[in-house]
Structure 1
Amino acid sequence: MTKLSSATATATATNPVNLPARYDIRRLTQEHLPFALAIVLHSNMFYSPVWPIVYPENKTARLYEAFPAGEYLIRHQIESGYSFGVFDLEYQFKRTESKPDGRLYWDMQDTTLDADQLLAQMDFPLVSVAMAYDGIKPLDKGRVMPLIACLPLFGTFYHVLETLDPRPEASWKPTAEKQLMLRNATSTRHDAEGKGLMKALAQSLMRYAHGEGFKAIQIECFADAVTKVWSEPPPFFRSTVISEFNTAELEVEEEVDGVKRKVKPYGDNCRQRATKIYCELRSSEPNGTAVK
């Protein structure tokens, strides 16, 4: 497995990440695809501030449906070489046959399992993921549609943020490799939450992208903790909230039987801030000179 520099685990003035020694940040490879996909789906279906509220029924069945549908999204980002995960070096396997790299034991036919039972079947040391890809090699929207069919408001989230984005496309869209990194999917498995893993991984990715020559990272956030981390980057990066909306206030127009009306797609019970954040990696260094 390819690792980030060991410096990513050392907190300094310019590298303010302090992961406990039991955790290691590594580049994700194809062998990690089912594990990364499981973490993303399990976290979103059961613990997101949005999806369990707007889709409260049949969550396990929806998760199973989204597993093959989401495979392309995760594979594209792993193949980019810019997706990383946090691994628990002290992870205790639940089953002997899971060693040494882990196993996923979901039975896609058994929809009776709850969130805890599904988590118990995620027997692998990967605990947090940050998926990303080079913006010059975009996702095939047609191949993402099966996932959107499972979570229709997932598409609404991106569409509204794009509509509210005031920037001319030429001001931010990449024209060559290693200009703009696009982040898509940040998740930590439920039994590893609250340890600062998402922040550590995000800030490591910022520094890694800077070292690779990227000018900026763009990310859409649907959780307050993610928005906070990406809107308050470490020195000497600079972030801007480009567009945002609140799910409880969002209204869209729909037409039924020739009659147009305003509706709230996320309903009244879901109250979450959605943001698109642009993190500039080459703003300034401590002496005020431009980062090259």
Structure 2
Amino acid sequence: MSQNNNNTKTPNPSNPSSLKPRYEIRTLEPKHAQWAIAIVIHCNLFHSPVWPVLYPENINARTFKGFDNAEYLVMHQINSGHSFGVFDTEYQFKREESKASGGKLYWDRNEKSVQEEKGFEAEGQRLLEQMDFPLVSIALSYDGADPFDLEKMMPLLGVLPHFGPLYHVLEVLDPREKDSWAPKTHGEVLMRNATATRHDYEGEKIMAGLARFLMREADARGFRGIQIECVHDAVAHVWSNPPAPYKGSDVSEFHTGTYKDEEGNLFFAPAQQKITKVYVDLKPKASD
């Protein structure tokens, strides 16, 4: 599918995006970390096809536990220099304080949740309205030669108990010999981990435009491939069907509704979602 890539508001103007003119892609910096964490946590806990189904109760407490423990996940990738965000240059601030500072997050763990009184969706909307900043979508990445420190990831894995097992199942089902794709040094394989767009900006084709920009940017930086684990059909579709000359492959997958653990239990029930690990070959001609 051809893309109308004429938006030059990107970190690399020679690699324009297909996003609407109001949107700008920027390299994420540590100053954006809190905003990025809020987007990751809110998007996953309130609007993912998996996590809200598995964890519908006490969502406010889980949101703040997630926020408290996602800093390492986000900062490891921001510090890599390979993580990007989409900013709305026409964003309308809700509060004067936010406008003066360029944006602000107003989450307060001492405020009462409205879930019990008004429901799950109302609590999600309350927290969304407190995200008064122009960052609207993120694509976090890190160099595969600098993997996550599992010990530092453990607090977040405790907030989302199915998160670790989900990745483990994809790893077990991956038929590839690791030497056939894994990086041996820096600048070979980019690992994507955390795709999230604010709920009030869904339907703008932001995720797809940012993803395709990132494929071209990684290619220009010398990477030969990108790997991403997808827990959403739209994300899987974009990465499995990259623009030419790139080639996407579903290297492993399972369905949460049918997967059974060693004891025969439907471990991810009642979620109903195909989980996919995708590898995008950025240099297919060189590897043929």
Q: Shared topology, TM-score over 0.5? A: yes
Report the equivalent of 2:117. Answer: none
5+ unaligned residues in a row in structure 2: which ranges?
A: 1-8, 115-122
Per-residue deviation, residues 155-203 of structure 1 (Å, max 9, x unmatched): 1110000010111111111111100000000000000001000000000
Cα displacement (A) at 1:111: 4.7
CA distance in 2 between partners of 1:250 and 1:124 (Å): 39
Cα separation, 2, equivalents of 1:3 and 1:198: 15
Counterpart position of 2:102: 101
Instruction: Please give the alpha-carbon distance, in whole angstroms, between the structure 2 residues aligned to 1:271 and 1:77.
Output: 29
1:36-47 matched pairs, under 5 angstroms = 36-47=36-47
In structure 1, the gaps of 5 or more residues are 10-16, 254-260, 285-289
Aligned counterparts of 1:104 and 1:281: Cα–Cα separation in 2: 37
Determine whether 1:171 maps to 2:180: yes
Distance 1:111 1:244, change over 3 A: farther
Name the CA distance, whole Å, in 1 between partners of 2:259 and 2:135.
Answer: 36
1:36-75 to 2 correspondence within 5 Å? 36-75=36-75
**Secondary structure of 1:85's aligned partner:** strand
Larger CA deviation: 100-109 vs 231-240: 100-109
Contact 1:245-1:275 within 8 A present in 2 as well: yes
Post-superposition Cα deviations, 1:10-39, rounded to whole Å, max 9, x if no partner, equal xxxxxxx42111000000000100000100
Distance 1:21 1:177, change over 3 A: same
Task: Tell me what 2:206 maps to.
Answer: 197
Q: Secondary structure at the match of 2:227?
A: strand
**Corresponding residue for residue 265 of structure 1:** 267
Residue identity in the other structure for 1:39: I
Alignment of 1:127-146 (within 5 A): 127-146=136-155
Deviation of the 1:262 alpha carbon: 1.7
1:242-263 CA-to-partner distances (Å, cap 9, x unmatched) read 000000011002xxxxxxx321
Kindly indicate whether residue 12 of structure 2 is the aligned counterpart of residue 5 of structure 1.
yes
Give the superposed CA RMSD: 1.5
What is the correspondence of 1:12-23 to structure 2 with a 5 Å cutoff? 17-23=17-23
- Give TM-score, length-normalised by structure 2: 0.91
Matches of 2:92 and 2:13, distance apart in 1:
23
Partner of 1:14: none
TM-score by length of 1: 0.90
